[in-house]
Structure 1
Amino acid sequence: MLENIETLKEFIVQLLEEKKAEAITIIDVKKNTTLAEYIIFANGRSTKNVGAIAEYVALELKQQAGINVNIEGLGKSEWVLIDVGNILINVFYPAVREHFKLEEMWAKKV
C-alpha cells in the first residue's frame, strides 16, 4: 500500500513512464483548490495509445495499490481523465491537449 500522497504521485508517474507516456507534467494545486492536490498531464502517441495508457494506470493502481479509480473519456480516448481522489490524471492525444490548454490554466493559478 502507498503510505502518502507523494509516494502515490511518484508511483503514478512511474506507471505513465512504463507505458511510454510523453510530456508528463505535474502541477501542485493544493493551494488553489480542494478538487485535488496534484494534477498530472501526459500525452499518448495516438488515441489507441491514450486509452491503453489510461487503462494500464487504472489497472495497476487497483492491483498494486488497492485503489479504485473513476475513468472518463475512454470511448474516444482523445482525453481520458483518471480520478484517483487527491490526484487527477489527464492523458491526452497531443492535439487535444494543445486545444484545451488546461495545463496553462492551472499553471497560471499556482
Structure 2
Amino acid sequence: MGYVQLAGAIAAEVAATTALKYSDGFHRFWPSLITVIGYGLSFVLLAWTLKTVSVGTAYAIWAGAGTAAIAAIGMLFLGEGLNAAKLAGIALIIVGVVVLNLGGAH
C-alpha cells in the first residue's frame, strides 16, 4: 500500500507543479488552488507512505520521479527545449533511484 500512496504523492506533486506554471505567480485563482491542494495532498500521501517505506527510498523515488516527470512535461507540452544534457540529467535521476533501491536504502 505504501507504494500506491507514493504514486499518488508523485501524481499530486506533478499536477501541482504543472498548475503552478499556469498560476501566473498566484494571480490566477484555479491554477493557484490546484497548486496548493496538490502540494498539500502530496505531502499528506508522502507522510502516509513513510509509515511503511523507508524515508531514503520514498523521498528518492518521490523527488526523482517528480523531477523527471516535470522535465518531460516541460519538454513535451510546454515548449521547453530538449537536449543531450537534459536527457542525461533525467537518466541520472532514474539511475540514482534504481541504485538506491537496489542498495536497500533502509
TM-score greater than 0.5 by the shorter chain? no
Whichever of the two has the greater Rg, that structure is 2
- State the TM-score, normalizing by the size of structure 1: 0.28
- Greater helix share, 1 or 2? 2
- State the TM-score, normalizing by the size of structure 2: 0.29
Larger RCO (CA within 8 A; separation ≥ 6)? 2
